[in-house]
């Protein structure tokens, strides 16, 4: 399987660009709806109950809480001609590169996040929480990655004691999109920042984060030619 990042030619690291943009769920929700990559339901998920439990009846429709805002880096497993990619993902997507070493690519992102993501990137609610801890916060950054599953609603068996507020349920919701986006064949990296001792997810502000890399960065984890990726 190939991981393809469609981008503007000015933003291709293999053509001299020194930055990478991490999108956010809120950014895509609030994007101009005319843009192909906009999704007003980004991070939202609808479940259909399959039995009676926890006060929910058979067939109950439970819409997932959008929850905390996270960083997202999206790719596609479809290797398209550029003209077709521009129609699907946007006219500005006139270039592309392939991720051939996913682990190294994520590690490079994390290395830059460590010095470039600051308190100012957190929402006011998260900043208030951290300020009220009464101690120095300890941060843990976790990557989750995988294919998007496309389905308008999902069956949930409440007998499995799935908590609607659970961390795993929240993360799963970041890898679900409506069927209308199925052609995108998306593979994404979701980056979660957690205050380690409390276990609380730190919500980030809406604007994407632009990470700047050193001039001598070795991008050998990427390729200009089609290649299957390694985890």
Residues contacting residue 129 through CB under 8 Å, at least 6 positions apart: 195, 200
**Residue owning tokens 């200009």:** 224
Query: What is the predicted pLDDT for the residue at 171?
Result: 83
Query: What is the predicted pLDDT for the residue at 178?
Result: 87
Give CA–CA dist 69/50, Å, rounded. 29
Instruction: Tell if the pTM clears 0.85, that is, is over it.
Output: yes
Query: What is the predicted pLDDT for the residue at 153?
Result: 67
Give CA–CA dist 136/130, Å, rounded. 8
Query: What is the predicted pLDDT for the residue at 158?
Result: 47
Query: What is the predicted pLDDT for the residue at 160?
Result: 45
**Residue owning tokens 């209308």:** 180
Query: What is the predicted pLDDT for the residue at 154?
Result: 63
Return per-residue pLDDT of the chain as tens, 231 residues. Answer: 999 999 999 999 999 999 999 999 999 999 999 999 999 888 776 666 555 444 445 455 555 545 689 999 999 999 999 999 999 999 999 999 999 999 999 999 999 999 999 999 999 999 999 999 999 999 999 999 999 999 876 655 544 444 445 677 778 778 988 899 999 999 999 999 999 999 899 999 999 999 999 999 999 999 999 998 877
**Which is nearest to 157 in space by CA: 44, 48, 42?**
48
């Amino acid at each position: 399987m190939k991981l393809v990042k469609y981008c503007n030619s000015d933003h291709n690291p293999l053509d001299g660009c020194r930055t990478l943009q991490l999108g956010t769920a809120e950014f895509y929700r609030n994007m101009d709806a005319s843009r192909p990559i906009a999704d007003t339901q980004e991070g939202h998920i609808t479940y259909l109950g399959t039995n009676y439990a926890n006060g929910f009846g058979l067939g109950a429709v439970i819409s997932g809480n959008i929850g905390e805002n996270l960083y997202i880096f999206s790719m596609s497993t479809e290797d398209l001609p550029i003209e077709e990619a521009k129609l699907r993902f946007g006219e500005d997507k006139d270039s592309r590169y392939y991720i051939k070493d996913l682990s190294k690519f994520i590690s490079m992102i994390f290395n830059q996040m460590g010095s470039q993501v600051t308190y100012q990137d957190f929402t006011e609610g998260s900043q208030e929480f951290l300020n009220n801890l009464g101690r120095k916060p300890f941060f843990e950054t976790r990557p989750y990655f995988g294919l998007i599953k496309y389905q308008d609603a999902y069956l949930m068996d409440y007998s499995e004691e799935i908590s609607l507020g659970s961390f795993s349920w929240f993360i799963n919701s970041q890898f679900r999109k409506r069927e209308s986006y199925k052609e995108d064949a998306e593979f994404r990296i979701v980056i979660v920042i957690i205050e380690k001792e409390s276990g609380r997810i730190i919500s980030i502000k809406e604007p994407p984060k632009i990470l700047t890399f050193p001039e001598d960065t070795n991008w050998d984890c990427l390729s200009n030619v089609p290649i299957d990726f390694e985890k």
